[in-house]
């Protein structure tokens, strides 16, 4: 899983809310490299930051009915957060209208190599320095598959037909 690509794909999907390029509803970015860039207050319109937070992994699966080469596959639950920052809660450039526009765009969307996105939770996190921060948590399932170097993988030596 390339988490940078996933963040970018979700940010592009969220960008659908900006239907009028001359008057975008929100600034949409992936999590910046520096805290200073993240904490920079949005100007006239809200800002949505797409952030990969981490993953949870299921137990490894193995098919005992076949001769496998013990490649590990695990279900991976990817945790993504959308941080919506705005100076106002209500009105055209408010946090709540942006949230209401984003919810149907992300819920059920299927990023490449993943299942559909599910909503996990949402909450108003903080209100400091005249800026509201609302966090929408998303989960999406995929599989983590062990990468095998072909030069060190076991060779097939016997084939039997049942």
pLDDT score for 68 = 57
pLDDT-derived band of residue 154, with 50, 70 and 90 as boundaries?
A: low
Give the tokens for residue 161.
């037909």
* Least trusted range by pLDDT, from 10-14, 20-24, 66-70: 66-70
Q: Is the pLDDT of residue 120 over 70?
A: yes
Residues 34-60: tens digit of each pLDDT? 888 887 877 789 999 999 999 999 876
Q: Determine the topology of domain 3-145 in CATH.
A: STM4215-like (3.30.2000)
pLDDT score for 69 = 59
* Beta carbons of 63 and 135 less than 8 angstroms apart: no
* Beta carbons of 48 and 29 less than 8 angstroms apart: yes
* Beta carbons of 78 and 55 less than 8 angstroms apart: yes
Q: Is 107 helix (H, G, I), strand (E, B) or coil?
A: coil
pLDDT score for 145 = 81
| Residue carrying structure tokens 């929408």 | 136
Q: Is the pLDDT of residue 79 over 90?
A: yes
pLDDT score for 148 = 77
pTM, two decimal places: 0.83
Contacts of 143 (CB under 8 A, 6+ apart): 73, 74, 75, 76
* Least trusted range by pLDDT, from 60-64, 92-96, 122-126: 60-64
Average of per-residue pLDDT values in the chain: 88
């Amino acid at each position: 899983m390339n988490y940078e690509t996933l963040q970018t794909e979700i940010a592009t999907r969220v960008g659908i809310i900006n239907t009028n390029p001359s008057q975008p509803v929100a600034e949409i970015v992936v999590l910046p490299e520096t805290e200073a860039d993240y904490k920079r207050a949005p100007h006239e319109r809200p800002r949505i930051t797409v952030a990969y937070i981490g993953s949870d992994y299921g137990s490894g699966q193995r098919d005992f009915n076949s001769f496998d080469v013990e490649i590990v596959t695990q279900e991976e639950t990817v945790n993504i957060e959308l941080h919506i920052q705005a100076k106002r809660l209500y009105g055209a450039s408010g946090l709540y209208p942006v949230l209401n526009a984003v919810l149907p765009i992300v819920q059920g969307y299927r990023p490449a190599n993943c299942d559909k996105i599910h909503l996990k939770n949402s909450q108003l996190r903080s209100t400091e320095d005249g800026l509201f921060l609302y966090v929408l948590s998303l989960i999406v399932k995929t599989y983590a598959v062990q990468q095998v170097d072909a030069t060190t993988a076991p060779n097939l030596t016997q084939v039997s037909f049942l």
